[in-house]
A = this chain, B = another copy of it.
Amino acid sequence: MQSGSLFIISAPSGTGKTTILKKIVAAMDNVAFSVSHTTRAPRPVEQDGIDYFFIDKDNFARMQQQGLFLEWAEVHGNLYGTSSYAIQEATEQGRDLLLDIDVQGARQVKNKLGHTGVFVFIAPPSLEELARRLVGRSTESEDVITTRLKNAREEMKSLNQYDYVIVNDTVTEAVEVLKSIIIAERSRKRRSLSGVPLKLIS
């Protein structure tokens, strides 16, 4: 069986990443979200092993010490991490995994994985359009929007870390492009050799 790939996907806030990724997982076979470990308490609807692996701080610290995380971060006092083993297990079963992560996290993953991971950046058509979208949601204060635009401008500087850049003009097109990237990567030689009958390459 052919191994799956790990797709590391970043986008500035407001670019529509979550919508795109959910549509991909719903539309494609053998594509799933990477499941993170967290020390945060589960919310009522969340299931262990599906939404997150819920562990306590001691166990998280032990995993950190043993170098078992591909990347980790602290957010609002809670720890989140991606276990190398969980990724390996899922991809070896032929599943493609989507790791939804910010630019800093992606950099940690890149340092560990190099070209083994597929790095995808989803960009807004322009910062002006991103501003319009953020204002359009009208759930955020002006300060929050200003901060997000400032962050977006910073994050754009990291484009060079990524293998692919998808400009999200429309969600439908962006989904189509990401789907194509996943299908294409399944045929990339370094990945696909295990899927080619051995008698063809011996």
Residue positions of A touching B, CB distance < 8 A:
123-127, 156-157, 159-160, 162-167, 176-177, 179-181, 183-189, 192-193, 195-197, 199-201
| Copies of this protein, total | 2
Chain B, Cβ-Cβ closest to A165: B192
Main secondary structure of the interface of A (DSSP, over half): helix
Complex Cα distance A63/B119, Å?
A: 42
Known A179-B180, A180-B179, A180-B180: A187·B166 in contact at CB below 8 Å: yes
**What distance in Å separates the Cβ of A123 from its nearest Cβ neighbour in chain B?**
6
- Whether A200 contacts B156 by the Cβ 8 Å rule is yes
Complex Cα distance A126/B160, Å?
A: 39
- Whether A164 contacts B184 by the Cβ 8 Å rule is yes
**What distance in Å separates the Cβ of A178 from its nearest Cβ neighbour in chain B?**
9
Complex Cα distance A89/B166, Å?
A: 25
Complex Cα distance A127/B167, Å?
A: 41
- Whether A200 contacts B164 by the Cβ 8 Å rule is no
